[in-house]
């Protein structure tokens, strides 16, 4: 895998940042789509580059065409290949308009365009999976926009049990793991317009 990643980096297709492979492109006014294959997500869809299609989750920052233009194509292409309907997260303020956009396309070509659309407000969280959630934060642009911080969720042994011998932990386990563990949340990356912070 490491060699493959290196080859891809050499060929200009993706690079590794903090252990996460990142692909995509961002050309202001033309197209922005950043892809994290290991997290199964794309940030903005640009004109819908082909490698974005396989990502199950799409997070949209704002409604400018260079960031959202490829949205119907993304959903339609996944339908064409019979892939799982994607989950698309958009700022709440554009959710209704995005719904109407899909309705117009359905009216025109009688396609299903199956997907789940989620409106997220600044400060709200969206759970991608048990060990991963995303929180929207405000970004500043000529129209309303937001970025997203991706958090990993891990279970770790509570402080008071650290250093206990294994068989004691085993004994305690039998009375319920939830007593032993606490949840920790750790930001792993931040997605915002044109700037990626790790």
Residues in contact with Zn ion by CB under 5 A are 64
Give the nearer residue to Zn ion in terms of CB position, either 21 or 139. Answer: 139
Give the nearer residue to Zn ion in terms of CB position, either 128 or 192. Answer: 192
Phi, psi of 155 (to 5 degrees): -100, 130
Q: Count CB-CB contacts under 10 A for residue 35.
A: 24
Give the nearer residue to Zn ion in terms of CB position, either 115 or 193. Answer: 193
Residue with the CB atom nearest Zn ion in the bound state: 64
DSSP for 31-63, written as a single string: EEEEEEGGGTEEE--TT--GGGTT-SEEE----
Least distance (Å) between residue 74 CB and Zn ion? 18
3-state class of 70 per DSSP?
Answer: coil
Closest CA to 12 of 27, 23, 28, 1: 23
Least distance (Å) between residue 79 CB and Zn ion? 27
Give the nearer residue to Zn ion in terms of CB position, either 64 or 105. Answer: 64
The encoded tokens of residue 81 equal 């290949």
Least distance (Å) between residue 147 CB and Zn ion? 13
Least distance (Å) between residue 66 CB and Zn ion? 7
């Amino acid at each position: 895998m490491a060699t493959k990643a290196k080859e891809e980096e050499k060929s200009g297709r993706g690079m590794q940042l903090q252990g996460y492979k990142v692909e995509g492109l961002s050309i202001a006014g033309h197209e922005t789509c950043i892809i994290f294959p290991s997290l199964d997500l794309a940030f903005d869809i640009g004109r819908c580059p082909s490698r974005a299609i396989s990502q199950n989750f799409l997070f949209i920052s704002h409604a400018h065409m260079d960031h959202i233009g490829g949205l119907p194509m993304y959903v339609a292409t996944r339908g064409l290949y019979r892939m799982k309907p994607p989950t698309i997260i958009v700022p709440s303020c554009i959710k209704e308009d995005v719904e109407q956009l899909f309705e117009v396309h359905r009216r025109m070509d009688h396609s299903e365009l199956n997907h789940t659309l989620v409106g997220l407000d600044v400060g709200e969280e969206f759970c991608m999976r048990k060990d991963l959630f995303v929180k929207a934060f405000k970004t500043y642009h000529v129209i309303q926009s937001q970025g997203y911080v991706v958090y990993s969720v891990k279970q770790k042994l509570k402080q008071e049990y650290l250093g206990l011998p294994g068989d004691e932990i085993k004994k305690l386990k039998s009375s319920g793991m939830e007593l032993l563990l606490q949840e920790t949340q750790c930001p792993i990356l931040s997605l915002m317009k044109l700037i990626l912070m790790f």
